[in-house]
Structure 1
């Protein structure tokens, strides 16, 4: 049995970047032999022999050698491995592409074998914005996307890549690569109806926090309006569209809720200074309940150029300081309606 540290962790070590998750490839043994050697390893792969052990991922490879295993990787800069003694194994172009800051596919067939690599390539551009995506790779992404194979990828795997893209230095590149390669469908098809260039720009402006970047990704979702809606009204159908994307990608509930809120309220919040008190109270309480006050107003500032955050925090304090008198407590819906009215009055009088 031979165990090699592989992929991104080796790449980041060579680039002098902070280390992330460590991934390992295991050669020269069967799954049963690996499980006997590491009885605490937990198998997580459904179609591939992938295990988790002490927070690290191990893949049992059937390749006859580590050099052959590297030929099945996605990009040359990820076709890297290091043995326990620190000896480096690399694709013939891996090191030169690292030096030249180039994103190059190892082989086209590898992307057809695992179409998730289309999404991963876009994610790497988001995380390594200084790297150049070769035209050949861009064309390959489009060809694989047009084949319809992306629909066969497990939702959880796509969702993980989207979240990693939202952690990137320039997450807008994730959208730019997929959009220009016609690879948004089926997982992010809603973005095809949006101004994705503006969405990508806003994602870059709010970069630095994963959930906030996710909110930027879906904030401009378009709802299905039956009747014309005034800009100052929350758009619940847009919020539903954003939530649909989150559910499709099997994202955590807090991400889905934050994305729904961003899409529902972003247009109304851009008019916060003139928004009626009733809507301001509703918005502020939602932001406070989801603990996304700072993230939401950072998004609004990025999309409108106006900063309402100080006023919003002040008004939230006012809203939360209002309490029902004892005589109006315990009356069910009537109590809630009166508390809302008192809070609106407090904002109007403030």
Structure 2
């Protein structure tokens, strides 16, 4: 039996980057070899072919080749008898992932030109069997986000476009698409993921709300960068260091603009309302977790009000906004901060405004501190001691909050 380090670990090693996952292939393994693995504490997983997890959690798989037997990314059977290392590598997606290093000798096996493509910065599929697994369209887009300086090989772009045109992407599960998307959002240039999907026609199948933003004009005085699609990508760039939820909120904050009738362009009246409604379909299609979806919806529905908060004149309206963005609850500080972070990214995701100050954030943080400070005030203590409860208590608290916000707004309006 020969053991080889394969895939991403070899690629990352050649790039001088740390390898987070180390996977191995076993070639020429006999039944006695497998017995020794099990005796050493390895656990066999996988129903279709033998894969073993070491006590350290590393994956060892028997060399195998795939045969297409059905539709989708699950429609394969596997053969493991007398499979060579080169045959095993032939089933991989990209040449840069189809290299192996012998653990005993250190020799590198590179039958498909992975080293060349690493040096040249090319994402190239290994063989025509690439088209048999539609999930690879998303995987390649994810690698484009991870390595933004790499270009897509012309022939790989063509085969990805063909897979999309055949309708194969509809066979994928929401969980697999969501998994690739989350990984792409964590990459160094997440916008590339969506740019590649759009370029090969794949955005329409799983992200039609984003596709609909292309060529949708916006008021030039507010959006000198161009259409709503370009603006969306620029907002995503602005929040590159954010959480998955923040990046998703940035990505979908303006999807309501895709429903604006052309006769109303470039204005988009009530797009925050239609955007909130569209998000229900996004959640259903992609199975978006509740935590991420909640932030996406609040940002879509409230980002304009956050931008315009300095123009609010009535403290009751300010209180309503703070309640909507979770600014009145101590335990929701992280959520409140995320809303402001995405709104700031929205304001800066415009040509020439990438580093402009964002006063609404400081104003709303100050207003939140005023509200949270009420619980330490004598007035609040008196309210609690009065025995008022239920809706009456909520109404009295709201009056106290509005009075404090009125004082705060007045102090912010006075010249320093």
TM over 0.5: yes
Partner of residue 279, structure 2: 242
Contact 2:254 2:272 in 1 (8 A): no
Is 1:319 the counterpart of 2:371 in the alignment? yes
- Further displaced range: 281-290 or 125-134: 281-290
For the residue of structure 1 that corresponds to 2:24, the secondary structure is strand
Contact 1:163 1:210 in 2 (8 A): no
For the residue of structure 2 that corresponds to 1:4, the secondary structure is strand
1:200-349 aligned at under 5 Å gives the runs 200-211=233-244, 212-222=246-256, 235=272, 237-242=274-279, 244-275=281-312, 276-285=317-326, 289=332, 291-305=334-348, 306-307=357-358, 308-323=360-375, 324=380, 325-327=383-385, 331-349=389-407
Is 1:11 the counterpart of 2:44 in the alignment? no
Partner of residue 105, structure 1: 125
TM-score, L = length of structure 1: 0.84
Cα drift, residue 161 of structure 1? 0.8
- Unaligned ranges ≥5, structure 2: 66-82, 214-227, 349-356, 409-416
Partner of residue 185, structure 2: 166
- Further displaced range: 287-296 or 298-307: 287-296
Q: Structure 1 residues 254 and 178, CA, compared in 2 at 3 Å: closer, same or farther?
A: same
1:67 pairs with 72, 75, 86, which one? 86
**Take 1:83 and 1:343, find their aligned partners in 2: how far apart are those partners?**
69
**Take 1:38 and 1:284, find their aligned partners in 2: how far apart are those partners?**
54
Q: Structure 1 residues 326 and 177, CA, compared in 2 at 3 Å: closer, same or farther?
A: same
TM-score, L = length of structure 2: 0.72
**Take 1:266 and 1:144, find their aligned partners in 2: how far apart are those partners?**
37
**Take 2:52 and 2:325, find their aligned partners in 1: how far apart are those partners?**
44
Contact 1:284 1:312 in 2 (8 A): no
1:149 pairs with 153, 159, 168, which one? 168
For the residue of structure 2 that corresponds to 1:24, the secondary structure is strand
Cα drift, residue 239 of structure 1? 3.2
- Unaligned ranges ≥5, structure 1: none
Max Rg structure: 2
- Further displaced range: 54-63 or 277-286: 54-63
Cα drift, residue 120 of structure 1? 0.9
